[in-house]
Amino acid sequence: MRVDLSWLKLHPKETERFHLEKLYGNVEIAKGVHLLDQAMVDLEVTNTGRLMVGKGEIKARMELECDRCLNRFEREVELPFTVEFCSEDNRAFFKNEETFVYFVEPQVDIEPVIIETILLSLPITTLCSQECKGLCSICGQDLNLAECHCQEKEIDPRWEALKKML
Ligand SMILES: [Zn+2]
Ligand SMILES: [Zn+2]
């Protein structure tokens, strides 16, 4: 996913729009996180002089794994993001600012920024739905699909003891 900043680099104060697409199909970008289909990026970049400041939106479809029931499910995301491009000649002005994307050639790959934005958007706990009941910790039954009887069995011994007392 490359943006070509060669025109913009020569035109301070101008803004250029980019539309990028990449076909992922089914690519694992982190454990349990797959990118599906085509990811699309719309980006507007302004040359502010020493920097090129970009604002954009990512559209992607992901397959995730629920932390509770372990089922896979799909989710579409639309994520705003910002990116600052800095040519190597200007690096010194910004004291190696870590968040910038530095470039020598004006065809700059922004895929790392896209992937990072997607990963940072994921919650710490991924759930297929807020109401997900998860798996039974004893028998492993997916409690979204059916109930199991483990809870009842746990009560049994006490119930037996009580019956003997009576
Ligand atoms: Zn779930
Ligand atoms: Zn169970």
Please write the tens of the pLDDT for every residue from 48-83: 998 999 999 999 999 999 999 999 999 999 999 999
Spell out which residues have Cβ within 5 A of ligand 2, the ion: 136, 138-139, 141, 148, 150
Three-state DSSP class for residue 114: helix
What pTM was estimated for this model as a whole?
0.82
Element (H, E) at 150: helix 150-165
pLDDT band at 160 (very low <50, low <70, confident <90, very high): low
**Rounded to whole angstroms, what are the CA distances from 2 to 33, 95, 103, 149?**
23, 25, 12, 55
**Closest C-alpha among 20, 24, 92 to residue 62:** 24
Instruction: Output the CA 114–ligand 2 centroid distance in Å.
Output: 41
The pLDDT tens digits for 23-33 are 999 999 999 99
> Does residue 38 contact residue 62 with C-beta atoms inside 8 Å?
no
